[in-house]
Amino acid sequence: MRALLIIICFFSCSTEQQTGKVVKVVDGDTFDLMSDKKIRIRMFGIDSPERGQSFSVKAKEFTAGLIAGKEITVTIINKDRYGRFVCDVYLDNGTSVNAEIVKAGYAWHFTRYSNDDELVRLQEEARASKRGLWQDSNPVPPWEFRRR
């Protein structure tokens, strides 16, 4: 029983929050945050079009419009193999930036890493409404684009 409590606490207590200013938007799901130091953030559970893919510029512009130069809060989930902090991202009013990007149609729900029902719902709404990348007749998910 004690081991189970330790495991539960590790997974539920290990998240860390950081607040800082967005100093650079790299692409639709990646940016630099200045907190105590500059850190690169990759948004959890979403995947925006890659550079060279349809809608990559619009995705970056949408994300920049939401967060560039703003004070935001991130909840760190983990670190990826590139050293980026993988995070849930929130505006000061509590709005989930990750969800807003999917809702606008500028990112896929990245089901390989996330089972968030809200992101599933938002992606289906964006697809049905042909918002953002869903205007394309055959949008290619970024993970398939990278594989090519």
> Could you give the domains of the chain?
15-135 (2.40.50.90)
Catalytic residues: 42, 50, 84
Instruction: Please say whether the dihedral angle defined by the alpha carbons of residues 129, 117, 98 and 95, taken in this order, is positive or negative.
Output: positive
Q: Which of 4-13, 56-65, 90-99, 137-146 has the lowest mean pLDDT?
A: 4-13
Question: Mind listing the pLDDT tens digit for each residue in 62-91?
Answer: 999 999 999 999 999 999 999 999 999 999
| pTM of the complete model | 0.88
pLDDT recorded at residue 148: 83
Question: Mind listing the pLDDT tens digit for each residue in 16-39?
Answer: 999 999 999 999 999 999 999 999
pLDDT recorded at residue 7: 38
Question: Mind listing the pLDDT tens digit for each residue in 34-61?
Answer: 999 999 999 999 999 999 999 999 999 9
Neighbours of 117 (CB within 10 A): 9
pLDDT recorded at residue 14: 56
pLDDT at 8 over 50: no
Locate 75 and state its tokens.
Answer: 């909840």
pLDDT recorded at residue 9: 39
